[in-house]
Amino acid sequence: MSSSEEKALRAKDKSASLGPDIDLNSFSRGSNPWATCPVSSLPEDIAQQSLKVGVRSDEKERAGTYFQIDHSAVFQGVQDVYKGKVEVMSTKNAFEKHDWLKDYWWKLIAVDTDKYTALAELKWDQGYFLRVLENEKVTLPVQSCLFTSRDNLNQNVHNIIIAEPGSEVQMITGCVVHPNVQRGLHVGISEFYVKRGAKLTFTMIHNWAQNFDVRPRTAALLEDDAVFVNNYVCLKPVKSLQMYPVAYCRGVNSRARFNSIVYGTGNSYIDVGSKVVLQAEGSRGEVIARAIASDNAQIYARGLLVGEHKDTKAHLECRGLLLSDNAFIYAVPELNGKVVGTDLSHEAAVGKIAEEQVQYLMARGFSEAEAEALIVRGFMDVSIFGLPETLRDEIKRMIDTTTERAL
């Protein structure tokens, strides 16, 4: 038995410090294997659902694709023009190819953090491996999809993303369920390594179900002059979601930015946050969060900036919009300056749609519902993500569709 397994066994009943506790035994581990196939030949219902989270089965405008259904990796590959520049495969296949992968496995996230990290080690269901080779610039996004097709299923993935020195890549990951799925548990471990002078932009879109529980665990390590941009979008109901990704700016002049847009509806319980630790001279961090709560949704929006070195700077901004008297948003900004010479700041605001804004738009011919939808769409401005125009427009269409249906 490995040391990771031993630690996981000791933590298998350890509750997380945040979020509601979950009975792991109430979910099924039974999953029929899916055969590998071209992503273009996936069933139409799966292809349509994946498109809702930005994953294209036609692979148009994508450099590479990883697609996992339940516990099976059904497709993994890159376009011919990018072969030899980027690797995309399941983490299990990556272990068979690269002996050195063990040096990245459970190095940024402790396997015994809680029962969910322990579960991901003891009941590991693949996940994706992305590696961009040194000095390669991948001009099209790499896409991945983690799909749940069976009701009440538990899916545990462990992802490793490596941007080698001087490389640049954008990745879009969609996590989505089949329309017939109502309940389940997804645990996702993601470890990012952004090497010297590399830039990695990672965009994750969640599309769950009202009774689904989600527990991502994410950490990133940045070397000298590295840039890491993490974008997160969640627009659909979820029973409970709890995550608190962290970026360690260990390199000189490294940069980390977290952007998130969360739309809580129904009875969703959402506890999300971002943490930046400034550990080297010239390192910078930014956390930008937009949270909207309607119906009976509860949202905890957290942010933590830690300054551990002189000549470091970071800013945290959280804005919340309440669309219901029964909804709830709790903003928790934290600053922890440990040395002289670090500069940390924050601003937070939570409120309802201003009546004068609605009246202004209604005076120009919009109905009240149209005016509110317009304000909400403006609040969820994807320009904060800094994405290329094509990808930005895709995500904007998703947000527009969601607000039109919800309001």
| pLDDT tens digit at each of 407 positions of the chain | 789 999 999 999 999 999 999 999 999 999 899 999 999 999 999 999 998 888 999 998 999 999 999 999 999 999 999 999 999 999 999 999 999 999 999 999 999 999 999 999 999 999 999 999 999 999 999 999 999 999 999 999 999 999 999 999 999 999 999 999 999 999 999 999 999 999 999 999 999 999 999 999 999 999 999 999 999 999 889 999 999 999 999 999 999 999 999 999 999 999 999 999 999 999 999 999 999 999 999 999 999 999 999 999 999 999 999 999 999 999 999 999 999 999 999 998 988 887 888 787 778 788 877 777 777 777 777 777 777 776 777 777 777 766 665 55
Task: Write out the DSSP string of 230-284.
Answer: EEEEE-S--SEEEE--EEEE-STT-EEEEEEEEEE-TT-EEEEEEEEEE-STT-E
At 195 the three-state DSSP class reads coil
Contact 289, 319 (CB under 8 A): yes
Burial of 310 (0-12, 13-18, 19+ CB in 10 A): middle
> What pLDDT score does 307 carry?
98
> What pLDDT score does 404 carry?
60
User: Which pair of structure tokens corresponds to residue 167?
Assistant: 């490389």
Residues 6+ apart with CB under 8 A from 230: 202, 204, 218, 220, 245, 247, 256, 257, 258, 259, 274
Residues 6+ apart with CB under 8 A from 54: 143, 172, 174, 203, 205, 391, 394, 395, 398
Please count the other Cβ atoms lying within 10 Å of the Cβ belonging to residue 340. 7
> What pLDDT score does 109 carry?
98
> What pLDDT score does 370 carry?
76
> What pLDDT score does 22 carry?
97
